[in-house]
Structure 1
Amino acid sequence: MVSINRESNLPLYKQVKKLIYEDIRKHMEEGDVLPVESKLEKIYHVSRITIRKAIDELASEGIVEKVQGKGTFVRSRKIIQEASSITSWTEEMKQKGKKTETTQLNIFEVFPSKKLAKKLQLTSGEKIIGIERLRVVDGEPIAIMYNYLREKFIPGFLENGLTKESLYEELEENYNILLEEANEQIRARIAVDAEASKLQIPPDSAVLHITRTSFLPDGTPFEMVELVSRSDKYEYHIKVTGRNKNKVY
């Protein structure tokens, strides 16, 4: 049952856009063709102009692609990252059959900000290693990633650099560091100009900003990660279990 609310302050084309997107998300795959405009008019009981505005917005967001003379096709679905265990970004993408690459790699030594020093419980004068990367999937820039690592646990890292695509694989094999648990925070915000330029998205686009603090087996904080990802190409799924019921005495 199509639900268009003509009393709503939300424009009709925005409502239609949302309904078409939900239909794509639930029932369609990459390469599927959308119904023609005349059929969409009948489905949603709106004008041809409203349908076209809705489709144009979906196209501008990269969800569909209009091909002259052939129709409107579903583009690649969003990349979904499952937050149920500590895995590297590279491992996660490879499990999904995605071709990944890293560009604009920058590794540096720095004194931490007060925020980082507090998050990582650093001692006075302790330095950290910063890693900045642009992560590309199937030829498209998807995320900007910043990793901040406690230097004293990874001697020689600054000189040796990152020799593997996966940072966590590098830490495990070359430094015997296995991360036991992590705390994450996720929020939506507007991209700053530099981020929009790197991610090749319009200025003032929405992005997901994910922050993770990772811990060694003894509970020592070792790493802080900041991931800024395109919201039109990236979803973050969190698996939760049933809540514990406390006994009442």
Structure 2
Amino acid sequence: MIPLNKNAKEPLYKQLKTALLEFIEENLQEGDALPIESEIEKMYGVSRITVRKTIDELVNEGVVSKKQGRGTFVQSRKIVQKAGTITSWTEEMRLKGKIIETKNLLMHEIEPSRKLTEELKLSKGEKVICLKRLRCADGETIAIMINYFRSKFVPGFLEKGLNKESLYEVLEEDYGIQLEKAHERIQARIANDLEALELGVSPDSAILHITRVSYLSDGTPFELVEMANRSDRYQYDIDLFGRNKFKSFSEGSD
């Protein structure tokens, strides 16, 4: 249990929030009840006002929910994506036993922006397919996903449509396209009004914005993905290797 420091500059309710998040992570599952307010007071030596303010924050962030006359219960735990391997969103959710659904699918061919032209190293006059989807897990919208990929590699794609939840499965099975590597940029920012509306969160909510450029086996950039994820439902885990391996890699790559 994380001890609270009443002499610290950080407000007590923020310290309590961190402590309760750790308590939930270590002791509770989705649907479990939190200790009642009086018990939390005794556990951490804080006032009822502090407890209520902290729980209200956790409710606003979707970590817990209050049920009138019953108590406070753990909501859906965050969906953790393991960085380091190219997997589709659909594959990640299936591995976690989630019921997946796609909403508001939009698909069309577009003239690329300067950013797309540079990122995908497009030839003059080359077009891309834009595929926008709202991705849902267990009935809740988790992410806004927009895939941009090069039209010339997927002839007839618009006519066939997306007949599976996973775009990557379609690319592999129908076009023989294997993505060998990718580069991702992850940024925390505030949701704009449209993102907030589509994700069902307040306009000032934090989101994780991920940009991924994926490459074919010969190093050709094929796809750029822009994804806005609810930060209260999604987190990234990254494994780091030791400094000895890093030194060996650096010395051997001259």
TM range (shorter): over 0.9
Deviations 1:97-130 (A, max 9, x none): 0000101000111111111111101111111111
**Structure 1, unaligned runs of 5 or more:** none
Shift of 1:4: 2.0
TM-score (norm 2): 0.93
- For 2:75, the equivalent position in structure 1 comes to 75
- For 1:117, the equivalent position in structure 2 comes to 117
Distance in 2 separating the partners of 1:69 and 1:164: 43
- For 1:129, the equivalent position in structure 2 comes to 129
- For 2:145, the equivalent position in structure 1 comes to 145
Distance in 1 separating the partners of 2:90 and 2:2: 40
CA 1:125–1:203: 2 relative to 1, 3 Å:
same
Give the AA of the match of 2:186. I
**Residues 120-129 or 36-45, more deviating:** 36-45
Shift of 1:76: 1.4
**Residues 24-33 or 181-190, more deviating:** 24-33
Equivalent positions of 1:42-57 (< 5 A) are 42-57=42-57
Alignment partner of 1:245 is 2:233: no
**Structure 2, unaligned runs of 5 or more:** none
- For 2:155, the equivalent position in structure 1 comes to 155
Deviations 1:29-56 (A, max 9, x none): 1122211211111111111111111111
CA 1:167–1:21: 2 relative to 1, 3 Å:
same
Equivalent positions of 1:71-220 (< 5 A) are 71-220=71-220
Aligned 8 A contact 1:99 1:138 in 2:
yes
Deviations 1:51-90 (A, max 9, x none): 1111111112111122222221111111111122111110
Alignment partner of 1:15 is 2:15: yes
Q: Secondary structure, in 3 states, of the residue corresponding to 1:204?
A: coil
TM-score (norm 1): 0.95
Distance in 2 separating the partners of 1:127 and 1:44: 59
Give the AA of the match of 2:62. G
Distance in 2 separating the partners of 1:141 and 1:131: 17
**Residues 239-248 or 148-157, more deviating:** 239-248
Give the AA of the match of 1:226. E
Distance in 2 separating the partners of 1:241 and 1:12: 36
Q: Secondary structure, in 3 states, of the residue corresponding to 1:245?
A: helix
Q: How many positions carry a matched residue from both structures? A: 248
Give the AA of the match of 2:228. V
**Residues 53-62 or 132-141, more deviating:** 53-62
Distance in 1 separating the partners of 2:69 and 2:147: 46
- For 2:58, the equivalent position in structure 1 comes to 58
Give the AA of the match of 1:177. I
Aligned 8 A contact 1:65 1:73 in 2:
yes
Give the AA of the match of 1:110. I
Aligned 8 A contact 1:179 1:214 in 2:
yes
Deviations 1:141-198 (A, max 9, x none): 1000010001111111122211111000000111110111111111100000000000
Q: Secondary structure, in 3 states, of the residue corresponding to 2:49?
A: helix
- For 1:39, the equivalent position in structure 2 comes to 39
Distance in 2 separating the partners of 1:167 and 1:67: 39
Q: Secondary structure, in 3 states, of the residue corresponding to 1:103?
A: strand
Q: Secondary structure, in 3 states, of the residue corresponding to 1:4?
A: coil
Shift of 1:7: 3.3
